[in-house]
Structure 1
Amino acid sequence: MRESESEREKDQERKRDRSRESEREQARERMRARESTRESGRERERERESEREREPKRGSESERANERAKESARE
């Protein structure tokens, strides 16, 4: 009788351990997903920033002409 009670207690403890480990793993997954989302947000921001840098400068025609002249002079 005692032996089976002891076995049942051990079984219960193993189940609790598995449950706790499962909860920890789920928490780690949520953290990874959150970090991934944050990283992809940063990546999108970097893409938008580089897109803005590639856009033609908005300004008067003479400013753009001056920019082109400077570019030509550098080459």
Structure 2
Amino acid sequence: MGKGDKKTRRGKIFLGSFGNTRPKKSKLRKAKREKAKAESK
């Protein structure tokens, strides 16, 4: 278990892949963050 293991988070970072262990940043989360940033100003 380590960098070569596709099932671990560290392995996914090393291989540059995404999945349940390492989800991509969704557009929904990004939009929510920008909305909150605009409201705080």
TM-score by length of 2: 0.40
* Structure of larger gyration radius: 1
TM-score by length of 1: 0.23
Write 1 or 2 for the structure with the bigger share of helix: 1
